[in-house]
Amino acid sequence: MKLVIGHFYPELLNLYGDRGNLSCLRMRLQWRGIGVTVVPLAAGEPVDFSGLDLVLMGGGSDREQELACGFLQKIKGEFYRYVEEGGTVLAVCGGYQLLGEYYQTRTKKLKGLGILGIHTTWEPARLVGNIILDSGLCADAIVGFENHGGRTWIGDYEPLGRVRLGLGNTGDGAWEGIHYKNVIGTYLHGPLLPKNPQICDLLLETALKEKYGSAVRLSPLPDELEQIAGREMVKRGRRRQGRGLFH
């Protein structure tokens, strides 16, 4: 077995250590003896989605996101088909916003990919801090760090999780992220996958199933360190509960 991971714009969308998600996907395949190829997609070049099993998109500054947005418009149609046909996608922060219809920044309205019927509006107060979610996708709590000026309005879509501690999609502390078909969109840095290996394995299993047809059960890996790191944050969160901002 083998997976091909397309990494969208490593030179533009690379904020907040999000390339850690890539090394997590890669290593967890390698540790199980499954082949993996990473295709770094250069901005402005054509993309062959039929050769990709998993797509990863990170975030950038507003300026870089605008550049990325321009490049993505050219492959909008193919990207849309990839998602509708069950392609696996992890989009973090800026990448998450770009999947939507538009992002209203302080000064202008950036047109998104329109793959999801969601939109984002910018507000001056940034939403910053550690965050913990409860999600139907995995048994353990999802831990991470959010840092965004945009508020994302997801309408009736299924969120990634309920916010146990933190601010979430719109800053009201209710819901975070999105889960649509095989797409996960989220504001969570940390990076997300090394901290939450269950989500990583879920993405890998989904991509393998899409590629090889039958359900794949990945062999378990020793994740004690991940669990301790996650539990440590949950413990700290509990101590802070009811005392305002969670650090």
Residues that bind another protein (CB under 8 A): 11-12, 14-20, 23-24, 27, 43, 60-64, 67, 70, 126, 128-130, 145, 147, 189-191, 194-195, 225-226, 228-229, 232, 247
Q: Helices 19-30 & 197-212, crossing angle to 10 degrees?
A: 60
Both tokens of 125, joined, read: 């107060």
Q: Please state the closest distance from residue 70 (CB atom) to another protein, in A.
A: 8
Structure tokens at 10: 């490593």
**Among residues 7, 119, 148, 189, which one is catalytic?**
189
CA 32 – CA 9 distance, rounded (Å): 27
For residue 223, the minimal CB distance to another protein (Å) is 10
In the complex, what is the shortest distance from the CB of residue 145 to another protein, in angstroms, rounded to a whole number?
A: 5
Look up 69 and say whether it is catalytic: no
Pairing type for strands 102-104 and 54-57 reads unpaired
Helices (H), 116-164: none
Q: Shortest approach of another protein to residue 192 CB, angstroms? A: 10
- Beta-sheet strands, E only, within 31-154: 35-41, 54-57, 88-92, 102-104, 109-111, 119-134, 142-153
Residue 19 or 181 having the CB closest to another protein:
19
Q: What angle do CA 57, 60, 61 make, to 5 degrees?
A: 160
User: Do the Cβ atoms of 131 and 143 come closer than 8 Å?
Assistant: yes
Residue 195 C-beta: closest distance to another protein, Å: 7
Q: Assess whether 93 carries a catalytic annotation.
A: yes
| Cα(83)–Cα(246) distance, integer angstroms | 35
Q: Which is nearer to another protein, 50 or 227 (CB)?
A: 227
Active-site position among 93, 148, 179, 200 = 93
58 or 87, CB closer to another protein? 58
* Cα–Cα nearest to 159, from 137, 127, 126, 143: 137
Q: Which is nearer to another protein, 20 or 171 (CB)?
A: 20
What distance in Å separates the CA atoms of residue 26 and residue 109, rounded to the nearest whole number? 35
Nearest CB to another protein, comparing residues 3 and 115 = 3
Q: Which residues form the catalytic set?
A: 93, 189
